[in-house]
Structure 1
Amino acid sequence: MKYTKATDYALHIMAYLVKQDGKDNLSLQPLASHMNISPTYLSKILTQLVKADLIQSSPGVNGGYSLRKPKTEISFYDVIQATEGSGALFTCEMDENRACPIEKVMRDAEDKMVNYLKEKRIYDVV
């Protein structure tokens, strides 16, 4: 399984915001420079994080982005769900009319991974 680049960047962005500890609103251009990401692409990722209520955007001269949730509550799963969505990783296409035993194994594995990622906090690795 492979996550998109957006998820990689989003996890690193959130880690950076957690490190900043809410001291300042971080504006797009300096954040893009620090992360070495194009401002356009970064803006799309930040929009996803805002929609997921993980960060907030403040307009104006002193505006920028800051954490919305307490830094100790943000899980890896929260960030991954913001960028990847919540759809199943595997869907059986072979057994349409009955329970697929392969899909059950895959779903069980996915459930274990989801639970693990829900327990792991960005704060703990920063």
Structure 2
Amino acid sequence: MQYSKSTDYALHALIHLASAERRQNVGIKPLSETLGVSESYLSKIMSKLRQDGIVRAVPGVNGGYELARPADQITFLEVVQVIEGRQHLFECSNMESNQHRLLAEEESDDRYQADHDSERCVCLVKQVMDGAERQLNQYLQEHTIQSVVDAAVAAGKFPANKK
């Protein structure tokens, strides 16, 4: 599994915004120069983040972007889901094969059976993959933009007098 470069740029842009001086927004041009990405590509990423309420666009000559919420309320999971989408990472594509039937177990769910009048099979491979995805999502949910800024301050990478 690999996240897109858009997720990389989104996370780095948010960390940059979180570390900017208090009440200072950052223009797209300096932000794109800092990240080493084109303004047009970064604008598309920032637009997604704006639509989901993670950043706010500040209009005007000295406009730019700022965080729409405190950095400790923006999780890595939220950013990944905005950029990558909210679909599951694994879908069992071999539902009709003999191998799938061998690796499936019947699940008794009275509500499901009432609707479909048959037993539902759950793929054991999918169960493992879904478990891994839950753990990854939990880990990403526990880490915020602020936690990275705090780690950078502790390591002496950012001055401590930032947002």
Q: Distance in 2 between matches of 1:120 and 1:111?
A: 15
Q: Would you say the 8 A contact 1:22–1:66 is kept in 2?
A: no
The unaligned stretches of length 5 or more in structure 1 are none
The range that moved more, 41-50 or 17-26, is 17-26
**1:117 aligned onto 2:140:** yes
The separation in 1 between residues aligned to 2:10 and 2:21, in whole angstroms, is: 17
Q: Which residue of 1 aligns with 2:128?
A: 105
Which moves more between the two structures, 31-40 or 95-104? 95-104
RMSD of aligned alpha carbons: 1.3
1:62 to partner: Cα distance: 2.3
Superposed displacement of residue 59, structure 1:
1.5
Identity of aligned residues (%): 40
Question: Following the alignment from structure 1 to structure 2, what is the Cα–Cα distance between the partners of residues 65 and 122?
Answer: 15
The SS at the match of 2:132 is helix
Change (3 A) 1:72 1:21: farther
* Residue of structure 1 in register with 2:114 after alignment: none
Which aligned runs of 4 or more in structure 1 are off by greater than 4 angstroms?
none
Q: Equivalent residue for 1:24?
A: 24
Deviation string 1:2-36 (CA, Å, 9 cap, x unpaired) is 00000011111111111115431111111111111
Instruction: Give the partner amino acid of 2:47.
Output: T
Quote the Cα distance in structure 2 between the aligned partners of 1:111 and 1:21.
36
TM-score (norm 2): 0.73
**Match in the other structure for 2:37:** 37
CA contact (8 A) 2:17 2:25 kept: no
Q: Residue 76 of structure 2 aligns to which amino acid in structure 1?
A: F
Mapping of residues 1-126 of structure 1, within 5 Å: 1-95=1-95, 98-126=121-149
Write the letter of the residue equivalent to 1:123: Q
Which piece of structure 1 moves more, 8-17 or 91-100? 91-100
SS at match of 1:99: strand
Tell me, in whole angstroms, the C-alpha distance in 2 between the residues paired with 1:21 and 1:108.
Answer: 40
Cα distance in 2 for partners of 1:65, 1:78 equals 18
Q: Which has the larger radius of gyration?
A: 2
| Residue identity opposite 2:28 in structure 1 | L
Q: 1:71: how far off?
A: 1.4
Per the normalisation by structure 1, the TM-score is 0.93
AA of the residue aligned to 1:101: L
